[in-house]
Amino acid sequence: MKYYILFGPPGAGKGTQATAMAEKYNLCHISTGELLRAEIHAGTELGKQAAALINDGKLVPDSVVEGMIASRFASVKGVDGFLLDGFPRTLEQAEALDELLDEDAEMVTSVISIMIPDGMIVERIQGRAAKEGRADDASLDTIRHRIETYHSQTEPLIAYYKARGKYKEVDGTGTIGQVRDAIFSLM
């Protein structure tokens, strides 16, 4: 089984690229953002708690996200692997993922990072908020906080996965097709 991580700052195009990657390589795309939004939309207790945190630009507790990921790994059949989008976001989550995979004698296959500059992050997230009506993307203060959180908590994963020989990076500033071609060349 293959386990890919799609990495990059908010608005880098991970969701856009994940669909094509999942189709081409028969992967189950697991977007923690989509899993959480489904809980929020359903009005579950988890969804209410997640909404409050997300609206403040904070991360949902690791144990909740890790449980959702483990459940998907166990329940999805008929795929050649998984594509994680939005997880792990912290060193603690990366270590927890390693432990989870190690239980089944598996490991992360590769981390593919789509990188864009901070100014482009703001443009893309504001555009997405207007187009998709996503309240979690509407506030400039929330966007800036998400960028700061990415730099402080998630960027350290670059060194973590580089040290394991798993990290690969693509320039996310090109067209969707250019970025997709760059990603496919790394898989």
Output the domain CATH number for residue 113.
3.40.50.300
Torsion sign across C-alpha atoms 134, 140, 144, 145: negative
pLDDT at position 81: 96
In a domain, 11, yes or no: yes
Is residue 164 part of the annotated active site? The answer reads no
Maximum Cα–Cα distance for the chain, whole Å? Answer: 44
5 secondary structure, DSSP code: E
- In this predicted structure, the answer to whether residue 39 has a pLDDT above a threshold of 90 is no
- In this predicted structure, the answer to whether residue 88 has a pLDDT above a threshold of 80 is yes
Cβ-Cβ contacts under 8 Å for 96 (sequence gap 6 or more): 62, 66, 88
If one compares 103 and 140, the residue with the highest pLDDT of the two is: 103
pLDDT at position 80: 97
How would you write 29-78 as a 3-class SS string?
EEEHHHHHHHHHHHCCHHHHHHHHHHHCCCCCCHHHHHHHHHHHHHHCCC
In this predicted model, what pLDDT tens digit does every residue of 94-116 receive, in sequence order?
Answer: 999 999 999 999 999 999 999 99
How far apart are the C-alpha atoms of 47 and 59, rounded to whole Å? 13
In a domain, 16, yes or no: yes
Is residue 134 part of the annotated active site? The answer reads yes
In a domain, 61, yes or no: yes
Exactly one of 2, 37, 72, 128 is catalytic; name it: 128
In a domain, 162, yes or no: yes
Is residue 14 part of the annotated active site? The answer reads yes
**What is the domain range of residue 47?**
2-179
Number of domains within the chain: 1
In a domain, 44, yes or no: yes
In a domain, 186, yes or no: no
